[in-house]
Amino acid sequence: MRASDRAYRTLRSEILDGTVPPGSLLQEVEQSTRLGVSRTPVREALRQLAADGLVVASGRGTVVTAVSREDITALYELREALESRAAALAAKRAEEAPFRAIRDRLLDAPRLLSEGESGLAEYFAIVDDLDAAIEQAAANRFLGAALRSVQLHSARIRRLSRHNPDRLLEAAREHLLIVDAILARDAELAAHATHVHLHRSLANALATAPEAEADASDVA
Q: What is the pLDDT of residues 83-93, one digit of tens each?
A: 999 999 999 99
Distances (CA, A) of 13 to 9, 42, 75, 79, 116: 6, 15, 19, 21, 22
Residue type, 215: D
Q: What is the mean pLDDT of residues 117-144?
A: 95
What is the per-residue pLDDT for 58? 83
Q: How confident is the model at residue 21 (pLDDT cuts 50, 70, 90)?
A: confident
Checking if the pLDDT of 193 tops 90, the result is yes
* pTM of full prediction above 0.85: no
Question: Is 60 exceeded by the pLDDT of residue 82?
Answer: yes
- Whether the per-residue pLDDT at 2 is higher than 90: the answer is no
Nearby residues of 173 by Cβ (< 8 Å), 6 or more positions away: none
In this model, does residue 16 exceed pLDDT 90? no
